[in-house]
Amino acid sequence: MEVEIISTKFIKPSSPTPNHLQNYKLGFFDQTTDETHLPLVFFYPPTNNINFSAHEEQLEQSLSRILTHVYPISGRFTEDNSISCQDQGVKFIKAKVNSKLNEFLEKARLGSIHEPRAHCNGWLLNFYCYQRVVQSV
């Protein structure tokens, strides 16, 4: 399976996190949870006259707006079982995958948020995050 990284960037929240929300303390159960990852893969089949660049721009803008409301997802873990919410952003990797969908899904563990295009010309959106962050938000 061939994966070609087209671009990598960080998407930050569309508005800054208020000062009183910049230190997100994890709850007791979230602190004791293993550092397991929550991988989600969404597939969107090809449609006629698909405009990839318009969809990419909309996806980035939507992600930026969403991060304003779920700000701990774009934060970083600290040693005191908190998440520092300084608007660091999430990694967004655009990639092209030269394989069949089933081959890609068997080996898909690419990283944070990826928007690879599979050989079938559809879209795959891979969201990859620590489970304890997602369940605490």
**Strand 90-98 to 113-117 pairing:** parallel
Q: Compute the mean pLDDT over every residue in the chain, rounded to the nearest whole number.
A: 77
Cα distance between residue 53 and residue 47, in whole Å:
14
Q: For 9-28, how does the pLDDT look when each residue is reduced to its tens digit (9 = 90+)?
A: 999 999 999 999 998 887 77
**Comparing 35 with 120, which gets the higher pLDDT?**
35
Residue 19 sits in which domain range? 2-136
Q: In what order do the strands lie in the sheet with 90-98?
A: 2-11, 90-98, 113-117, 123-130, 37-44
Q: Which residues pair with 127 in a beta bridge?
A: 40, 113
Nearest alpha-carbon partner for 126 in 52, 48, 44:
44
CATH number at residue 44: 3.30.559.10
What's the structural domain count of the chain? 1
